[in-house]
Amino acid sequence: MREIKYRGRGINGEWHYGLLTELKRNYMRIEKGHYISNSSGLPFAYHVRPETVGQYTGLKDKNRKEAYHKDIVEFEGFLYSIEWDEKRTGFYLADLVYLDDPDSEEHKIGSCISESLIRGNPFEHPHLLEGRDET
């Protein structure tokens, strides 16, 4: 079973890692929004920008760097973004899919990621996606 954790960029630009909480309305002195916290939870949490939140895939690149949803990965000379497929409840990279079922034929993304390099994410390195066909 893969570890469930998230990454999000705070209002001040720093990255935070841990558990994700979304407050749909103000709670005491805490304003609504997305928060990343450690195991202690609120109030020990960081307010993060919701568009930057990404879940850990449970996989690491060839340098053992953790791969998160929305990361930009270089594999065999091409750049891909790690995305989430809601219908299949799995992460995918181009036409390769990682499902929670490790026996699936489509589990190949695990080896793809382990042979690739994470180049960054679109929030710190938007130039990596320039010229990419966004459909």
Whether residue 88 has pLDDT greater than 70: no
Whether residue 16 has pLDDT greater than 50: yes
Report which of residues 78 and 119 the model is more confident about: 119
Rounded to the nearest integer, the mean pLDDT of the chain is 80
Q: What percent of the chain has pLDDT over 90?
A: 30
Report which of residues 131 and 20 the model is more confident about: 20
Task: Give the class (CATH, top level) of 57-129.
Answer: mainly beta
- Average pLDDT of the residues in 24-50: 82
The dihedral sign for the CA sequence 16, 46, 123, 69: positive
**pTM listed for this prediction:** 0.79
- Average pLDDT of the residues in 102-110: 56
Look at 66-70, 96-100, 108-112 and tell me which has the smallest mean pLDDT.
96-100
| Token reading at 16 | 């935070």
Name the helix (H) or strand (E) containing 113: helix 109-114
> Could you tell me which of 116, 117, 97, 115 has the C-alpha nearest to residue 107?
97
**27/99 Cα distance (integer angstroms):** 36
Query: What ranges do the domains of the chain cover?
Result: 6-52, 57-129
| 3-state SS class at 59 | strand
